[in-house]
Amino acid sequence: MRVKLLTTISIFTYQLSIFQSEKLLNGKVLSQNIPLSKVEVINKTAKTSTRTNELGEFSILVRPKDSLLFFSKDYFFKRLKISHENIDQNNIIVNMILKPEELDEVLITKISFPKVKAADENSTVVPRPAISNPGVYTGGITNGADLFAILSLFMKKDKKAKKVKFNELDFKKLAEATVPLDFFTNDLKIKPEEKDLFLQFCDADPQAEILVKQKNLLYTMDFLHTKNKEFKKLSSGVQN
């Protein structure tokens, strides 16, 4: 009876110490001194997450040496390892860098030029005004095409005459765009030459399609952890 009581007390004391070591960390996410809202803040160690509010502020439970990840699709990925100083300060500032803007690809499918009819006998030909000073270049070409008329055709935008190509996002592209490279090498122990094969293996799982729609970094990383165990077993079975 005494042994059971001591065991229960020790377990309770251990859990209490863990709970007490967790502290609420407050911070703010900025980009060029502008607050960023809806940035996903993930405690990778504790597997918890939150998002910044309209003022760029967030609060999340952390412990020393926890790894925080900051993710937003328009900004470069940010990683922060929590120290005792961060917890004591309790008001950290995280600066994120905006990604270069990517232009959509525009495909012009059809350009129509006006038809020019041949002049008949009753047509009136209006001569061009003579050049007062033939030694000065005026921008025209003698007996040449009307460049201004041709350029005006190109400058008119017809919505039906152009199509914008959008590449469908698959799990492989999602993982390469959002998951840090060192996560594959350090956490999953995936060799660089195996990464492409591993992502194709993950993409074959029906769950990958759901993750593409959710675009949740924490769920994606948990999924990669699970598929990595299956991939390692499959690789070892093939080698044997």
Interval 129-134 mean pLDDT: 52
Interval 89-112 mean pLDDT: 73
Nearest alpha carbon to residue 218 among 183, 168, 191: 183
The predicted pLDDT at position 115 comes to 61
Among 20-24, 39-43, 53-57, 214-218, which is the least confidently predicted range? 20-24
How much of the chain exceeds pLDDT 90, in percent?
A: 25
Distance CA 47, CA 190 (A): 21
The domains of the chain, with CATH numbers, are 18-101 (2.60.40.1120)
pLDDT bin (cut points 50, 70, 90) of residue 235 is confident
pLDDT bin (cut points 50, 70, 90) of residue 162 is very low
Interval 39-65 mean pLDDT: 94
| Torsional sign, CA 166, 100, 212, 231 | positive
Distance CA 230, CA 225 (A): 9
Quick check: 131 pLDDT over 70?
no
Quick check: 20 pLDDT over 80?
no
Distance CA 45, CA 43 (A): 6
Report pTM: 0.44
Contact 56, 28 (CB under 8 A): yes
Distance CA 203, CA 212 (A): 10
Quick check: 88 pLDDT over 70?
yes
Contact 51, 39 (CB under 8 A): yes
CB neighbours of 199 closer than 8 A, spacing ≥ 6?
171, 172, 175, 176
Among 82-91, 167-176, 202-211, which is the least confidently predicted range? 167-176
The predicted pLDDT at position 232 comes to 86
